[in-house]
Structure 1
Amino acid sequence: MTGTGPMPSTPSENIQPATVAGTARHWRWTLLRRIVHFRETWAEEVANIDQAAVIAKIRPDGAWSPRFAFMSSMAAGIAILGLLQNSVAVIIGAMLIAPLMGPIMALGFAIATGDFAWMKESVRTLLGGVLLALLLVVIVVTISPIQAVTSEIAARTQPTLFDLGVALFSALAGAYAVVRGREGTIIGVAIATALMPPLAVVGFGLATGQWSIFGGALMLFFTNFMTIALSAAIVARAYGFSASLSPDQTRRQTLMIVVSFLLLAIPLGISLRQIAWEATVQAQARAAVGDVFPASARITDLNVDATATPVIVQAAILTRSAQPGADSKVEAALERRLKRDAQVTLDQYLIGSAVDLAAARNDMARLRDVAARAERDNADISRDLALLAGVDAKAVTVDNEKKRATVRAVRLPDAGLGAYRALEERMRAARPGWAIELVPPTLPLPSVTIADGKIAESSTANYQLLRWAARRGPLPISLSGAGATTLQQALAPDGVVANLTEEAKAGDGIVTAAWQLPGGGR
């Protein structure tokens, strides 16, 4: 007889809950055993470290020495030359000889062991090396004919998450190598990577008076320095280095060490907060672009100013279909994500296939190189024209597309119009292919002699100077005297506005020219 009750459960169904619970207990037990094993292994490794010998070995590295002073200065000199030349190879050369690892590791271990005297000595050594390096950099930049902001300089004007990562990993590697007795040039190079180029950029900003570069590079240097010093102290503590290894300390000295640690940690925390915010804005900006553009679209350039109000985002998008009103749509999406005002500017580049995508990326890379070169040219031209005209570089107008540059010169002592024309010719000769225009001050204009109804041969030079000044000058000119009509007609094809006064006459004679002030005055 067939039963009508519920079917009995299978063996596998009966044991499944017990099996899951048993598996979870097994993994917890395995994890606990691994943790206990790691702690035992770590304790054994720490016990095998001769801490007193390690301290005795690295203590002298925190002391000032002529070698440290000389090598720090030379490394800074090589670094700034590499930055000015935009040469990565030269910058790497500076890192190879920078002796920064010794005093920084000494500082980290001094903090870990609570050795106040050792900490003061290490700080003095580092500060002396930094000041010497800055002094040499300022001298090199001041006498250098090249003072443009290269891409290598620009890349070291703001701390980023990647810079912080380089400093952190360098410090961990350096501290481990010191503890294990395997320190060497390679570890020192890693630490110099995070410190020497930013320090050279600090000197560049100081020498050129570009305070935004100075402040940004100083923040990067200080952030990397704090990261390395504190990371080294943490690694030293993890290996059992403590105050028991240092001479007796007073409570006041211990308090000062704690305060010093906090003084390092607080600015580092502020920098980390800024870096984290910038990384958040970068990620949210990419997500906002993804909200508007299809998945096939690609962001090739993304520039973010997270400190601005509103937040500024500029990006280049490679897409197969244009998105009308994309700027405002991405801006709205980003504001929803950040809960903050934003300003978004997008450049859309249409592509049709994977091949087009690769080609578009190559074109974008070439455009970036061209833009970078143009920016360097603009900076060089602005600097040169400003020096010759006696004005600030901001007063120079540069149109890179039309290869045209204009600057209004200040009045120089004992300089006539001829001197300003010679300056312009000198500028043009230095920049072939460029249209250089120097606007002279309103100095007295030369007179021109008219004979037989034309410009006299003896006045040709005066006429050419008047013609140049009238074309460059900020005001129209007025003509008076016999022959003024003839001179007015000679200047007209050049677009020169020359007004005749009541004293203007026909015929031959000497024509007097003057700047015509607003309101008809002279």
Structure 2
Amino acid sequence: MTPPSSDDSPSGVIELFHRFERWVHGRLLRMLNLQAHERETQVHLMLANRQRGVVEYWTFLFLSMSIATLGLAMNSTAVVIGAMLVSPLMGPIVEFAMGLVVGSPVLTVRSTIRITGSLLLVIGGAALITLVLPFREVTAEIAARTHPTLLDMALAVCVALAAALTTVKAKSETNVVASGAAIGIALVPPICVVGFGLGIGDMEIARGALLLLVTNFFAIVSVGAVFFYLLGFEQVSVQAWDDEALAASPEGGVVHRALRALEQVFGSRRSGVFRIALPAVLLIGVAVPLYSGLMQVSWEARTRAAVSRILDQAESEDDFDASWTVAGGQVQVRTYLVGSVERADSLEARLATRIAAASGVEPDVRVTPMPSYEAIARAVEPLRAQGAAAPVADATADLAALRRDLASALAGAWPVEAYGPLAGWSLQMDDQGGVELVLRHLGPQPDAGAGRLLASALESETIEGLRVRFTPLDTATVEASVDEVDGWLTAVEGGLQVARRSTGITLCVQVPDSATLAASTAALDAVRRVDSLRATAPGAAVEMRRAGTSFTTRLRPAGAAPSCVELGGLSDGPESPRAAGQGG
């Protein structure tokens, strides 16, 4: 049977579409070895038998939640899979999709109530179990369900097809269990992770798992509804069965009250407005978080590709090992570099600038210099002894704690008045396991005794045997003509990174006046490049002005004399100094 041709009138086009629909329905029914009357039987069973097995449903749901939560906390994939085998979530979710297709307010509202109750039970139960557990470690099984990807949505699509197909072909309990397990794979673990996140008070975990839950739920319902429509379920008349099911439910029950409330808003449940508006309201409820989730997933996919490309390119320039994560709208990079502190600072600045430009967010980049790969291995070895597969990134956890301790100690011990503000610092290990603290500051070179005194003050709060090395920053003015700005732009880029990392340093920037800029395309391009660089270094203190005929830049302590306009090479001009973030 093939769809016949028709005239071009509106009624002819509509008739052609309906005949094409019937052709598609017939082909799919034959492919699945189904009869048209089986559609009515399936819908009638959903409406008539809904109250049967209520105790079993909630019992199996509770057991599935308990097993899944414990399996996630134990980091046991086998236990999590076991929870899927007893998950009963297939029923209400498939009925929800069917209710949208056949236009049954009773089926849609009833399944919505049960889905909502199921979510509350699983989330609340998982949170309570988490509270009573003696350990609350974020295991790999939990972490895997806090950052949804496009692969998770692809899995949900496959799950939905499995559930919908086994629903219309439910000739045995085996099929029903298979579809229930399929739904459980995509929904039960993320629901339990939402409860785990609430139980430990970590909203990032809860939000990430909730995003995965909403994404999977929408994919399952949408694919299921399309599948039922292609099989022709929208042709099933449910009015009499709706009335029969509603009459069988308690008069003052939740379904009755919900339908009465909806009828007051949309009119009779027999009206076309009710049939269209009800699914629209329900789907809009998940459309907003779904859109946000898809945008987040898309950003993470693009950013991961960009960070991988940037690190691959940087590895061709420097010899280092890196670990990195992209999650929750943030980018974190931890790197061990075989080389000097200066090379580490340069690499950190380049990575931060490139990743910020590619991702649109300010990344957290840390580069730790090491004298050799042997030193890196020694730094990681104690952690590997605790776990055979501990990655190099695990060593960063101890270093991160040490950095926090040092930052706190430095805040109270660094003599700003004597040696100027700190522009940054880094740790370097030698081949013998000694640790050296390299301080970059904007001030005079301290004498040899200053390093020993500062190390003694810091040792009591951090680590023994700490050595301190001072690295004063160059505060000389860098000047360039309108035809030679490449080196000057490099100085501006480095100065921005220094100013971004320190609240006590200001970058003074002067560009030529408007008349000079108007006469040079290269000069205008340089100014645009400065604006672009400033956008990649949010928080950097910059004073920028237009004056004279050359480009100049210089670092100076914030609030100190002389001011930017009084520094050598930064003569007064017609425009006053401007703060970072304003036009230049």
- Name the CA distance, whole Å, in 1 between partners of 2:360 and 2:201: 36
- Name the CA distance, whole Å, in 1 between partners of 2:176 and 2:225: 19
- Show CA shifts across 1:125-165 (max 9, x none): 12222223334333323332223332322322232323222
Which residue among 350, 353, 362 is the counterpart of 1:332? 353
- Name the CA distance, whole Å, in 2 between partners of 1:347 and 1:240: 63
- Name the CA distance, whole Å, in 2 between partners of 1:90 and 1:178: 26
1:31 is matched with: none
Give the deviation of 1:329 after TM superposition.
2.6
2:225 is matched with: 233
Q: In structure 2, do the counterparts of structure 1 residues 268 and 245 end up closer, same or farther at CA, with 3 Å as the change threshold?
A: farther
Amino acid at match of 1:366: A
Give the deviation of 1:316 after TM superposition.
5.7
Q: In structure 2, do the counterparts of structure 1 residues 214 and 224 end up closer, same or farther at CA, with 3 Å as the change threshold?
A: same
- Name the CA distance, whole Å, in 2 between partners of 1:238 and 1:348: 61
Matched-pair contact (CA < 8 Å) for 1:285–1:313: no
Which residue among 302, 310, 313 is the counterpart of 2:332? 313
Q: In structure 2, do the counterparts of structure 1 residues 105 and 337 end up closer, same or farther at CA, with 3 Å as the change threshold?
A: same
1:163 is matched with: 152
Q: Percent identity?
A: 26
2:44 is matched with: 56
Amino acid at match of 2:351: V
- Please say if 1:44 is aligned against 2:27: yes
- Name the CA distance, whole Å, in 2 between partners of 1:97 and 1:300: 42
Amino acid at match of 1:197: P
1:263 is matched with: 285
- Name the CA distance, whole Å, in 1 between partners of 2:348 and 2:233: 56
1:129 is matched with: 118
Which residue among 366, 370, 390 is the counterpart of 2:389? 366
- Name the CA distance, whole Å, in 1 between partners of 2:348 and 2:326: 15
Matched-pair contact (CA < 8 Å) for 2:332–2:365: yes
Q: TM-score, normalised by structure 2?
A: 0.49
| SS of match in other structure, 2:390 | helix
2:166 is matched with: 177
Q: In structure 2, do the counterparts of structure 1 residues 81 and 317 end up closer, same or farther at CA, with 3 Å as the change threshold?
A: same
- Name the CA distance, whole Å, in 1 between partners of 2:402 and 2:315: 34
Q: In structure 2, do the counterparts of structure 1 residues 365 and 190 end up closer, same or farther at CA, with 3 Å as the change threshold?
A: farther
Alignment of 1:463-482 (within 5 A): none
Matched-pair contact (CA < 8 Å) for 1:83–1:152: yes
Amino acid at match of 2:316: P
- Name the CA distance, whole Å, in 2 between partners of 1:191 and 1:298: 44
Amino acid at match of 1:275: V
- Name the CA distance, whole Å, in 2 between partners of 1:236 and 1:336: 46
1:78 is matched with: 67
Matched-pair contact (CA < 8 Å) for 2:197–2:206: yes
Matched-pair contact (CA < 8 Å) for 1:134–1:203: yes
1:242 is matched with: 234
RMSD: 4.3
Q: Point out the structure with max Rg over C-alpha.
A: 1
Gaps of 5+ in 1: 1-36, 353-361, 376-396, 403-470, 472-522
Alignment of 1:358-507 (within 5 A): 366-368=389-391, 371=394
Counting matched residue pairs gives 333
Q: In structure 2, do the counterparts of structure 1 residues 304 and 126 end up closer, same or farther at CA, with 3 Å as the change threshold?
A: same
- Show CA shifts across 1:409-429 (max 9, x none): xxxxxxxxxxxxxxxxxxxxx
Amino acid at match of 1:212: E
Matched-pair contact (CA < 8 Å) for 1:166–1:194: yes
Amino acid at match of 1:294: S
- Please say if 1:101 is aligned against 2:90: yes
Matched-pair contact (CA < 8 Å) for 2:147–2:327: no
- Show CA shifts across 1:459-484 (max 9, x none): xxxxxxxxxxxx9xxxxxxxxxxxxx
Amino acid at match of 1:368: P
Matched-pair contact (CA < 8 Å) for 2:148–2:211: yes
Matched-pair contact (CA < 8 Å) for 1:62–1:103: no
- Show CA shifts across 1:434-453 (max 9, x none): xxxxxxxxxxxxxxxxxxxx
- Name the CA distance, whole Å, in 2 between partners of 1:298 and 1:236: 54
- Please say if 1:302 is aligned against 2:321: no
1:186 is matched with: 178
- Name the CA distance, whole Å, in 1 between partners of 2:312 and 2:332: 14
Amino acid at match of 2:41: A
Q: In structure 2, do the counterparts of structure 1 residues 335 and 241 end up closer, same or farther at CA, with 3 Å as the change threshold?
A: same
1:115 is matched with: 104
Q: TM-score, normalised by structure 1?
A: 0.54
Between 1:53-62 and 1:152-161, the stretch displaced more is 53-62
| SS of match in other structure, 1:166 | helix
- Name the CA distance, whole Å, in 2 between partners of 1:38 and 1:79: 42
Matched-pair contact (CA < 8 Å) for 1:62–1:102: no
Give the deviation of 1:53 after TM superposition.
2.5
Give the deviation of 1:67 after TM superposition.
0.7
Q: In structure 2, do the counterparts of structure 1 residues 62 and 348 end up closer, same or farther at CA, with 3 Å as the change threshold?
A: farther
- Name the CA distance, whole Å, in 1 between partners of 2:180 and 2:165: 12
Amino acid at match of 1:44: R
| SS of match in other structure, 2:270 | coil
Give the deviation of 1:57 after TM superposition.
4.2
- Name the CA distance, whole Å, in 2 between partners of 1:161 and 1:288: 22
- Name the CA distance, whole Å, in 1 between partners of 2:200 and 2:364: 31
Matched-pair contact (CA < 8 Å) for 2:22–2:232: no
- Name the CA distance, whole Å, in 2 between partners of 1:119 and 1:280: 38
Q: In structure 2, do the counterparts of structure 1 residues 117 and 188 end up closer, same or farther at CA, with 3 Å as the change threshold?
A: same
- Name the CA distance, whole Å, in 2 between partners of 1:340 and 1:273: 15
| SS of match in other structure, 1:98 | coil
Amino acid at match of 2:333: Q
Give the deviation of 1:70 after TM superposition.
0.5
Q: In structure 2, do the counterparts of structure 1 residues 243 and 208 end up closer, same or farther at CA, with 3 Å as the change threshold?
A: farther
1:144 is matched with: 133
- Name the CA distance, whole Å, in 2 between partners of 1:225 and 1:88: 22
Alignment of 1:254-293 (within 5 A): 254=275, 255-293=277-315
Give the deviation of 1:251 after TM superposition.
3.1
- Name the CA distance, whole Å, in 2 between partners of 1:159 and 1:326: 31
Matched-pair contact (CA < 8 Å) for 2:204–2:328: no
Q: In structure 2, do the counterparts of structure 1 residues 300 and 232 end up closer, same or farther at CA, with 3 Å as the change threshold?
A: farther
- Show CA shifts across 1:59-86 (max 9, x none): 4676571111110011111111112222
Q: In structure 2, do the counterparts of structure 1 residues 62 and 333 end up closer, same or farther at CA, with 3 Å as the change threshold?
A: farther
- Name the CA distance, whole Å, in 1 between partners of 2:324 and 2:335: 7
Give the deviation of 1:179 after TM superposition.
2.9
| SS of match in other structure, 1:288 | helix
Between 1:151-160 and 1:163-172, the stretch displaced more is 151-160
Matched-pair contact (CA < 8 Å) for 2:170–2:176: no
Q: In structure 2, do the counterparts of structure 1 residues 292 and 109 end up closer, same or farther at CA, with 3 Å as the change threshold?
A: same
Amino acid at match of 2:200: T
- Show CA shifts across 1:252-274 (max 9, x none): 42212222222233322221111
Alignment of 1:340-355 (within 5 A): 341-345=362-366
2:143 is matched with: 154
Q: In structure 2, do the counterparts of structure 1 residues 298 and 246 end up closer, same or farther at CA, with 3 Å as the change threshold?
A: farther
Matched-pair contact (CA < 8 Å) for 2:67–2:82: yes
| SS of match in other structure, 1:128 | helix
